[in-house]
Each structure stands twice: as structure tokens, then as C-alpha cells.
Structure 1
Amino acid sequence: MNNLIITLIRHGKVDGPAGLYGRTDIPLSAAGHRDLSCTLNNLHAQTPIDQMISSPRIRCSQVAQAFCAQHKIPLHTEDKLQEMDFGIWDGIPFDALGDEWKNIEAFWESPHRMQPPQGESLTDFATRVIAGWESFINNTEPGHRAIICHGGVIRILIAHLLQLDWRNPALFKQLHIDYASCTRIEIGHYDGALPIVKWIGVIASN
């Protein structure tokens, strides 16, 4: 394999009510665990994975560790690929947010202007994620790398690779990245090669 193939995989459905889960270390539901494992198995059968990179959050790392142990694949945990820290909103079910809901709505309307209270700004989040990506790209060889991470991380990376404005709220309101879905990126092994986004948010099937 002469090209670098990278598959970004969103974790499965979490074991909790609808809410913003960033730094909250919530595990996967039984269905989420099963769906993510199925995605990895199907992906590996299609294009064998040479290395796995995972967010440290348990909703990503637990399945990654089990899969890599089973298939004897090296695993690297990357802190910079964690989800955005949503501050006082983080891990709280939407139904329990009360008056804070109006502030969350303002955040979705203009995420780069409205920072979650005691949380991370969109600028800091994007800077962190892009730095982690650039460090990874500059220190890897051709092959297939699978990265298990989060919906926000994948959106920022898509915008970065396509030179889009990651401050655009449409990226978060209109670009659907499903649980346990795959986004494929391919980079040629030659100077000046541009990353090619092959597909976004596809469920890997056998």
C-alpha cells in the first residue's frame, strides 16, 4: 500500500440520555459497543488496519483496546482528539438544563462566539484537534490507520482538510456524523499530495 489511508470512526451510542458529552467519561450502551465493534470488524476485513489511534475517553478506548488486543494491532491514545469540553453543560441531560437551554441554543447558532461556561472555546478546541492531526500526519507512514474519536473532532478535521471555515455553525447543525460511522481520507505518498476525502459518515458493512 503506497498511500496513507485514514478512517475516522465516531464512537457508538453512549449509555445515557440525550445531552452534550465532551469531557464526561460516559461508557457506550450495549448497542453502541456492539455497533462500534461491528464497524471495526467490517472495516478490518475490507482494508486491514495497521494501527489504531483512539481518544482516551472510555466510549472510544474500551472497544479500541479490545479490538487491538484481539488482532494484535498497535494502539496509540491521543489526548488532543478528545471531544470539546462543554463546561457546566457537559454530561447534563438536555431535559435537566432548565434556563441554560437558551444559552445552548445561542451556542449552536454561533459556536465561535458563545463559549460554554467554564468550558472550552471553539477556537481552542479546533486548535487542539488540528495540532493533534498535524502531529499524527507528520509522523506516520503509508498504510491504513483507524482513528476512533468524536463527532465534533471529525467535523473540525473535515473542515480543516477541505479548507472550510470551521466557525460556520452549519458544520455542526447540518453535517450529520452518525454513531459508529466512518469517514475515509486518503493521502498519496508523494510531495505535495493533498488529502482526498473519499466518503463521510458511512456505516462499514461486510
Structure 2
Amino acid sequence: MATLILLRHCRSTANTSGVLAGRTPGVALDGRGAAQAAALPARLAQVPLAAAVTSPLQRCQETLSPLLEARPGLPLFTEDRISECDYGDWSGRKLAELNDEPLMEVVQHHPSAAAFPGGESMRAMQARAVDAVRYWNARIEAEHGAEAVYLMCSHGDIIKSLVADAVGIHLDLFQRISVEPCSVTVIRYTRLRPFLVRLGDTGDFRSLAPEEDEGAAGTERDAALGGGAGAP
């Protein structure tokens, strides 16, 4: 079957302001995000893409814009099922404020039981994303052959949930996975099993450097809901 490149959107204004964007309209890339997007055509230059599929949200569409300009014949499709998790009443709120919500502990440690007030459950989020990938795998293979490679631009929690499905781990463990903005994750699907070929590859190792705040070094940190902002 097809090989899927999962691309998390480049850094957004919500990432840098510490806001859980969710499906809030009008969330654009920030300056660094725009630079990350501009570098994508060179990063992917050696990959013959059969198609690109994107979340309908603005930050994903802006991420793909330079790539589409560099490859004017590349088919582009919008897929609602890979849109950001519907965080409901949490959307647009500061992550620091949300950390005090009792539900956040469930989101971190038992996400399969987490349902956002006024939004969707994390189980429903994963199920729709997996259904979308299965659909596009079959379609791309039927139209372009079993060796085809295609790209899907989506969001942090969506990509983490797809990785969990591909490697056969429970959704309750998906918070152990990290994918930074503009990171590339590659899953090769076959008839019997998927293979995780790349995970969260940015080519940028700044986020591995010790933090300037000595008090933060070595401390336990929760997973960033929505995926986090990546390296400074």
C-alpha cells in the first residue's frame, strides 16, 4: 500500500502565545512558521509526491502553500476528518490556565476516557483520523500504485493518535509521543502491518538543548495538548 508522510503544520501564532487553538478560525503561521513552510520544498525535493491532503484549517493550508507553488501540478485535497481535535469550550484558552482543570489529568494519563466539554472525545478524534488514512491509502494506491507516496498536513494530536494506531499502542499511551511543528512522520502501510519509518523529524536539534531555566532541568513535564510550539 501507499507510504504516508504526515506533516504537522508549521509554527502558528497560537503555538507561540500558549493558546490551545483547536478549530478557532484565523490562526495563522507566525514568522518562524512561515520560514519553516518556505523551507519545505527543499526538504521534500527528493520525494515524488502523488498528492497532498490537508486539514481545512488555515495554518495547514499556509504550511502547504510554498510546496504547492513549487509543484504546481500536485493534486491537493481537503479532508475534514484530519482537522484538529474539537476541544469545544477549551478552544482559544491559555494552556497555562487549562492545566488547572481536573480534566487535564485525564487527558494526560487516561486520554481514551477524555471528552472535551462542548467538543469531542479523544477516542472519536483518533477513530475519524484513522478512517481518513485508510480511505486515502486505498484511493492513492488505486490511482497511483502500491509504491506511491503522499503527504497529509494535519495537527499534533491527530498525528500522535495515528502513530499510536500504526505501532499498535493504546490511545492511553499516545501522550508519550512528541511531534513538533513542521515535523515529518512517515508511515509505510503494507497488507499485513504498518511500519513507522520516521517520527517527528525536523532536522533541528535545538529543542534537545538544556533549558535556560535551571529549575526546569530534569523535571517531569506533561505532554503539550495540541502538540506544543517546538524549539524556541
- The TM-score range, normalised by the shorter chain, is 0.7 to 0.9
1:41-95 Cα deviation digits (max 9, x unpaired): 1332122323111111111012324421431111111110011111111121234
Give the 5 Å matches for 1:147-158: 147-158=152-163
Give the 5 Å matches for 1:73-112: 73-97=74-98, 101-112=101-112
CA contact (8 A) 2:98 2:104 kept: no
Is 1:171 the counterpart of 2:169 in the alignment? no
Give 1:198's aligned residue.
197
Give 1:7's aligned residue.
5
Deviates more, 1:43-52 or 1:69-78: 43-52
- Aligned residue for 1:45, secondary structure, equals coil
Q: By how many angstroms is 1:9 displaced? A: 0.7
Give 1:48's aligned residue.
48
Task: Measure, in 1, the Cα distance between the counterparts of 2:69 and 2:192.
Answer: 33
* Alignment root-mean-square deviation, CA: 2.1
Task: Measure, in 1, the Cα distance between the counterparts of 2:114 and 2:3.
Answer: 35
- Aligned residue for 2:112, secondary structure, equals coil
Q: By how many angstroms is 1:97 displaced? A: 4.9
Runs of 4+ in 1 over 4 A off after TM superposition: 95-98
Q: By how many angstroms is 1:193 displaced? A: 4.6
Give 1:140's aligned residue.
140
Percent identity between the aligned chains? 24
- Aligned residue for 2:86, secondary structure, equals coil
Give 2:63's aligned residue.
63
Q: By how many angstroms is 1:153 displaced? A: 1.0
Task: Measure, in 1, the Cα distance between the counterparts of 2:37 and 2:65.
Answer: 12
Task: Measure, in 2, the Cα distance between the counterparts of 1:203 and 1:78.
Answer: 24
For normalisation by structure 2, the TM-score amounts to 0.76
Give 1:19's aligned residue.
19
For normalisation by structure 1, the TM-score amounts to 0.85
CA contact (8 A) 1:56 1:79 kept: yes
- Aligned residue for 1:185, secondary structure, equals strand
1:115 partner letter: A
Over 3 Å counting, the alpha-carbon distance change for 1:187 and 1:130 in structure 2 is: closer
Give 2:185's aligned residue.
183
Over 3 Å counting, the alpha-carbon distance change for 1:156 and 1:94 in structure 2 is: closer
Task: Measure, in 2, the Cα distance between the counterparts of 1:204 and 1:143.
Answer: 24
- Aligned residue for 2:113, secondary structure, equals coil
Q: By how many angstroms is 1:181 displaced? A: 0.5
- Aligned residue for 1:23, secondary structure, equals coil
Task: Measure, in 2, the Cα distance between the counterparts of 1:107 and 1:44.
Answer: 34
CA contact (8 A) 1:22 1:85 kept: yes
**Unmatched tracts of structure 1, length 5 or more:** none
Task: Measure, in 2, the Cα distance between the counterparts of 1:52 and 1:37.
Answer: 16
CA contact (8 A) 1:54 1:147 kept: yes
- Structure with higher RCO (Cα < 8 A, 6+ apart): 1
Matched positions, count: 195
